[in-house]
Structure 1
């Protein structure tokens, strides 16, 4: 029995003319698996210029192009879209990745099929319509990678049914939810807008698919309890589906920091208020008073309403304008001050000698200066009276033993004074003679007589000794000499009443 004659091919000239200029790719396949024609768009989507490069038939196409599904699994022979359409299958959308064998896929195609039948109902032409979705899927892959790698917690819900379709690791780590516990659940089951400041507005915007502004909310955690967050919503599209991207910021670290800051500020405020020394807090830039403590008011007599808000330059606090400027310059430059003596004026016009110390610190976002004043007026007065008394007593050291003189000299010496030690070797022979007679208690006139020199010469010798030893009082000079074993060459001159000189041992 002879085989039936092959069916003559229909004239597709007009069809080809119609579809040649379409942006969609169109491939025509004959029932005998021959690739009959492809428009320019279809060729470009395969990276070829001619139909021959595409393949003469379906077998050659499979040899030249490797197809993979979106999950990276290869499309097996017989399952290629061309094979399926030849088998009479029609489909509205198939997505495959296309590339050369052994190479990475270069294009992503979305295909649908058509079957063109002849008048007798027998297929005359099989059609594949190809859309290039490469850019779209590349963009989705980039979004997917960015979304998953973003440390900011985020979750996406589909607006059509308000079910979650994506969640990143940041959200899972922040809340303790798992991916399986979220995907497919609705916003009614896991409410990310719970406790939101403007919940009604957020729900309204979600229903309209509009941007949800930032607002504080409370997320219920799967392990129990809640977490304070800032939530915001941004409408996006995934594929062709409208969605809402929710992003979150964990407020717990900020709230802990704010709580710790409040506690620190409270402790500082209490210490500042209860400090027994006068203190004030001012800005570093303009030295404007921000606060004073109780001791400041009690000792200086300046009340809060008289000082707070005013600059130091506008207050009568520092009695010496030059000293106040030096204080401000020191703080502006070094940022601190330690134990500087400054006179402070009280509200009644009195002046107190004060030791002033200052330290810069930051309160909120403002650079401030904490200034502490120590009233040393009484101490300086007592020290002055003591030194005057010692000076008066030491005018005649012959009444005191060496031990008593040394103790008085130590009391008189200013604390912390540093000077290079002087030695007897620094004095000339004549200066040592004069020093010995001074230690014997002789006045300048008697020393001149004893040495046979003029009184002016004696004065010059004494001045030279003072200069070399850095001593400026006769009593201190006698103490210095006796510490080094100089007692004088002989007895002192007789007393004025003619009675012999008496010394206490």
Structure 2
């Protein structure tokens, strides 16, 4: 028998009780504790429940002491106590049993409810033994604190923490051990819960790769907020993942902890790396391209960059061209400059425009110009590509001159040549030709008639008081609409559809039936 039981079993003499009586009795003591917020339950050494204050009654959902039960056995039959893990307390493990049995305890947490029903309250219980002046127990006290709301809040936090898709990890400050982890963190890192729970911050250090780790560790041990910082988070298998880390001090089960939250930055990091790699590949291809290329920016069409082929072709060194408005290089005429500026402003594709490209030494040579808007260093720019067609133009002009010479001497021979050219593959049907003819503007018809008569671009420009560049643009548009690639094929098409002679009559495809 324990010392407390022996003291309870010994009955003091009446003379001793009179000599050792306190300055106030039990009724005064009950009056003092009746209004306390903590529940107080008084138990006699013979297991009778003697008294309970209103707080203790409310914590059991009753109004009278008798409803608790007259004895400890009756209390056990009316109320079912469970541990936090939902396991029922066996007989003899109830706090009242342990109190009467002479055991002293504190901070026992149990769930309380009616037998066979869900628990309604969560109690935090401790014991107190009142003795007389001689040390003999004369009253056993059970002090109850209702922590139902606290544990409900913790349950809600637990559910919210586990359901939150944002990765989270909770570390206890006292021993730096991880005590909780949610599914978001496990999915992000590939770890299993057993890999983390119970492990210390030193074993799996989420702060180890952090820039400025010493300051973060100091805030952690001080229980202060760790501001958002980019970090490399360890993942299963030994790698790391780019994240945005933050730490928030919280209490879990009355224990100071740190809640680490993470935002996954790896997709954005990978995208940046891919973009940087793509830009490096573009820069290499741009630099080594065999045709002249340059990048223009802004309303003034500043030269951002040019490649080696551009420098070799035009004579403008890269260092001298960069940063200057393209019009200062005098590469092309004003009409072409307006087309290039419009392509950059409106984001339009500019393809196969025939221009006279002027070199640094003032020589000119026929080129095809193509342009496309691109993004360089997060800025809208225009990539301009130039293709030398000087040799092709010279060949075409030589062919036209030869045909003109033959036509001047022998008309039948010229007609025969035209007939043979008309038999070449790719010749359009009459119906398609009529549709193409309808799509030509009045100015394009005039120029096509001049081409059919064998006139050069220079003569056409002089006859109509327009620039050669404008003539070339019209010629390019005419070729595209009638579906030919060479000037000689355009001559054949024009003569077949009634153009030529002196253009005094309306072409046959345009006449009224």
Partners of 2:68 and 2:374 lie apart in 1 by 76
Residue correspondences, number: 426
Partners of 2:78 and 2:360 lie apart in 1 by 100
* 2:498 paired residue among 458, 471, 490: 471
Residue pairs, 1:32-431, within 5 angstroms: 33=47, 35-47=49-61, 58=72, 61-118=75-132, 123-149=137-163, 154-168=168-182, 179-194=193-208, 196-212=210-226, 214=229, 216=231, 219=234, 225-227=238-240, 233-247=247-261, 257-283=271-297, 288-309=302-323, 316-320=330-334, 322-333=335-346, 335-341=348-354, 344-349=357-362, 353-363=366-376, 365-380=378-393, 382-395=395-408, 398-400=411-413, 403-407=416-420, 419-420=433-434
Please list every run of 5 or more consecutive structure 1 residues that lacks an aligned counterpart in the other structure.
423-465, 482-505
Partners of 2:150 and 2:210 lie apart in 1 by 35
Q: Per-residue CA shift, 1:450-489, capped at 9, x if unaligned?
A: xxxxxxxxxxxxxxxx999742224999xx99xxxxxxxx
After TM superposition, give the deviation of residue 292 of structure 1 in Å.
Answer: 1.7
Contact 1:279 1:371 in 2 (8 A): yes
After TM superposition, give the deviation of residue 143 of structure 1 in Å.
Answer: 3.6
After TM superposition, give the deviation of residue 79 of structure 1 in Å.
Answer: 2.9
TM-score by length of structure 1 reads 0.66
Partners of 1:83 and 1:469 lie apart in 2 by 117
Contact 2:407 2:414 in 1 (8 A): no
Q: Per-residue CA shift, 1:64-121, capped at 9, x if unaligned?
A: 5432211111233443323333333321111112334444333322111223345675
Q: Per the alignment, do residues 169 and 392 of structure 1 end up closer, same or farther by CA in structure 2, a change over 3 Å counting?
A: same
After TM superposition, give the deviation of residue 368 of structure 1 in Å.
Answer: 4.0
Q: Per the alignment, do residues 48 and 386 of structure 1 end up closer, same or farther by CA in structure 2, a change over 3 Å counting?
A: farther
Q: From the CA coordinates, give the structure whose radius of gyration is larger.
A: 1
After TM superposition, give the deviation of residue 281 of structure 1 in Å.
Answer: 2.6
Partners of 1:31 and 1:416 lie apart in 2 by 119
TM-score by length of structure 2 reads 0.66
Partners of 2:345 and 2:359 lie apart in 1 by 25
**SS at 1:22's partner residue?**
coil
Q: Per the alignment, do residues 44 and 471 of structure 1 end up closer, same or farther by CA in structure 2, a change over 3 Å counting?
A: farther
Q: Per-residue CA shift, 1:134-192, capped at 9, x if unaligned?
A: 33323333443444455665544433233343445555566666544544444445544
Give the number of the structure whose residues are more often helix, by fraction.
Answer: 2
After TM superposition, give the deviation of residue 131 of structure 1 in Å.
Answer: 1.8
**SS at 2:433's partner residue?**
coil
Contact 2:347 2:372 in 1 (8 A): no
**SS at 1:201's partner residue?**
helix
Contact 1:409 1:476 in 2 (8 A): no
Partners of 1:215 and 1:331 lie apart in 2 by 37
RMSD between aligned alpha carbons? 4.7
**SS at 1:236's partner residue?**
strand
Q: Per-residue CA shift, 1:180-230, capped at 9, x if unaligned?
A: 4544444445544445443433444444344445354585x786x553655
Q: Per the alignment, do residues 414 and 127 of structure 1 end up closer, same or farther by CA in structure 2, a change over 3 Å counting?
A: same
After TM superposition, give the deviation of residue 271 of structure 1 in Å.
Answer: 0.9
Contact 2:286 2:307 in 1 (8 A): yes
